[in-house]
Chains A and B, each alone.
Chain A
Amino acid sequence: MDIPSVQRASVLCAGKTPPVQMAAFPFGLGVSGVHEIAEAAHGDLPSLTGFAFAASRQCRPGPLLWVSQQTLLAEHGQVSTRGRRVFDPMERECLYVRPRKLIHALWTIEEAIRSKAVAAVVADIEAADFTATRRLVLASSRHGVPVTLLMPYGREGSTAAATRWRIGAVPSAPNRLDPRALGAPRWRGVLERCRTVPNMVGQAFDLEYNDETLSFSLAAGLAVGQATPRAVRPFEAELQQAV
């Protein structure tokens, strides 16, 4: 099943965003409202970053604001312009803010929503309680700026956000040219919470990002456990043979 990638909006119809299907994957992530993406295990934040960029392609053109708490930056590194190009072919301009405290990060997110100067806000923050997320949801629904919160693996508990995804990296797709090399990135996403489509809660998605068609595809082969197109020889076996 291919999620149709949205055509890049031309300059003159900047105000018109394509119709959003809230009931279908990815349930409005990065297009409207507040969404949370949590790590499946410690160290999955880069996968979350790629997923958030890929999902934000559908939102209106314009700059992004990326808020990163400094503790998470030191642990997971800074978003790289050249690295994100694969997931963000529109090459949106990105403003970065690195507050030290959580309260300043939340303040910055809310201020950005209210100003409506940015197309979307993405934030790496350590935590956010129900009141904080509720504030962001209210501001976002009033001003129409989508917010994506990337949170560490310990994220549990109540939230006012529309969805909570739990994303983890899984081995990449087979590389047709070189079986020992990496292929297209794959992630496993579980929809933990969903206010808009409650019957989809608990659904797992095996996602593969295709950087040629610039779209997600659901890696069905992985999901049902059938054979992958081509067996990958373990690297050590190759190595032993070579030695």
Chain B
Amino acid sequence: MLTETGARGRVIAAASAPAQAAGILPGLGFADARARLPHLIAEEIDRTSDARALRSLADWMIRYTPLVAIDGLDGLMLETTGCDHLHGGEAAMAACLSAHLTRQGITHRIGLADTAGAAHAAAHGGAETIQIIAPAETQSGLANFPIGCLRLSDDTVQMLRWFGLTRIGQLYGIDRKALERRFASKQASYGVLKRLDQVLGISRDPISPLRPAPDYMARLPCPEPIGTSEAISEGLRRLCADLCADLADHGVGARGFALHTFGADGTHGYVDITVARPVRHATHILRLFAERLDMIDPGFGIDCLVLEARRVEPMDASAMALSGDLAAQDTDEVALAALADRIVAKLGEGAVQIQSLNQSHIPEYAERMVPFEGDLIPRHGGSLQQGPRPIRLFEHPERVDVLAEVPDGPPVRFVWRRVQRRVARADGPERLAPEWWKPSQKAARARDYYRIEDPGGRRYWIFRNGLYGDGRGGIPEWYIHGVFA
């Protein structure tokens, strides 16, 4: 028996079957319960762990349907439309699900009906473990179920009891207007009518799935649980062939693929890859997954594999150029995207980058590294025409100590990285005013950039942050921002 500390002290949160037989039901005070059964064993309920366990069970349920939602504190809602034929019909699927749950030691009740509300009612009010309400018989099938299964608040249920309404079927015959008038508040009456309409399929009752439903997926149940990496890669090869044929039929490609593995012991594993441009080429996808397959832990064996395609986009089939000399472009974009995919699969998301040029004169904003997304030129209209820029730019300007400072000119000597450097020649200044129209640059100061060469021939790009007496802070500081070739 599990207890929970509420506003009125310790109350029962859940009770075992023998305790329930003794009249100890959830909601009863703990002291009352112990008075009835002095030897009962009680423990504090751990809602967080329960929620986590329910969530992992929901992940595992993806093997039956991609649309899984969490229903309350202890329920799962599965949208199985179009999925039952994979298991040989609704009854067979429910039996299979029940067998799996029994093997994992989870007590459960399964309800299956046309609408989410009806399925909820069937699961909570049904006499059997598996309660299936046949299609188009929702109204008659639910007539004898208690009214508490309608997902109503406790107060509303209590009020309906006072009216003598205890079965769902009793509500059918009452005129809607008459039912509405019996409640003090409009909201309560509306709640009852809405729930009833949802159960009967008159009004919509969408479920909110844990993850968005993929547009394309392929599924491979294994006759025996598999545990070797060869078996997994063979299964993946078949799934890829199926999925790619499906994608090709619809003229689309996907920019992400995820492989779900479902263990026989209720565990759920998952690896995914992303690609730079839409693909549907099985060998390419397999090569990308090859780097990741060792991350799958088969545990006690995997009995179902699901491969899903994400971010599906239309894809043009393009013919290869017959000869390199006739190619219209220097760049084979498909090969380049494939290379980027391989590197991303090995080194992680965002490993391949390109520089985007922005419309800014501040050097650290003018060039930004952005992940490569299949297009080589993401230039946002930034101009290449600027003053002389160093070939290597530091991400953050580094502070330098200036030894002999001259107002409005470059320093004579400066210390950078603990080495004193003398200025032999200098060029400048190039003044970059702050971008005062940007909120983040409100406090910024104007910068005077100098190109500087030391007697050894090293060429630096240093700047003074601020002008003397500009009223924006103390004495300007010097920074080095890059090194010239």
Contact = CB atoms under 8 A, between A and B. Distances in A.
Contacts of B171: none
Interface string A11-32: 1111110000000000000000
Interface in B318-366: 323-332, 335-336, 338-340, 342-343, 346-347, 351-355, 357, 363, 366
A185 B425 CA distance: 13
A96 interface: yes
Contact of B426 (A46, A76, A186, A235): A235
B483 A46 contact: yes
Given A117-B335, A180-B426, A15 B457 contact: no
Contacts of A62: 330-331
A182 B425 contact: yes
B34 interface: no
Contacts of B425: 171-172, 180-182, 232, 235
Contacts of A44: 458
Interface residues of B, number: 60
A63 B427 contact: no
B384 A85 contact: yes
A186 B323 contact: no
Interface string B415-452: 00000000111110000000000000000000000010
Interface string B375-400: 01100000010101111111100000
Contacts of A65: 339
Interface in B20-74: none
A236 B412 contact: yes
Interface string A41-56: 0011111011101000
Contact of B366 (A15, A82, A95): A82
A229 interface: no
A236 B363 CA distance: 30
B122 to A, nearest CB: 55
B391 A234 contact: no
B211 to A, nearest CB: 31
Interface in A123-149: none
Contacts of A83: 389-393, 482, 484-485
B127 interface: no
Interface stretch (A106-114, A154-162, A191-199, A212-220): A106-114
A80 B390 contact: yes
Nearest to B391: A83
B330 A61 contact: yes
Contacts of A112: 339
B367 A82 contact: yes
A107 B406 contact: no
A182 B343 contact: no
B485 A93 contact: no
B352 A99 contact: no
B342 A115 contact: yes
B453 interface: yes
B347 A15 contact: no
Contacts of A118: 336, 339
B347 A119 contact: no
B393 A63 contact: no
A87 B391 contact: yes
Nearest to B387: A82
Contact of A182 (B324, B327, B342, B451): B451
Contacts of B479: none
B485 A50 contact: yes
Contacts of B482: 77, 80, 83
Interface of B: 323-332, 335-336, 338-340, 342-343, 346-347, 351-355, 357, 363, 366-367, 369, 372, 376-377, 384, 386, 388-395, 406, 412, 423-427, 451, 453, 455-459, 482-485
Given A78-B394, A82-B357, 10 more contacts: A15-B327, A63-B376, A82-B367, A93-B331, A96-B352, A107-B346, A171-B453, A175-B427, A180-B426, A182-B453
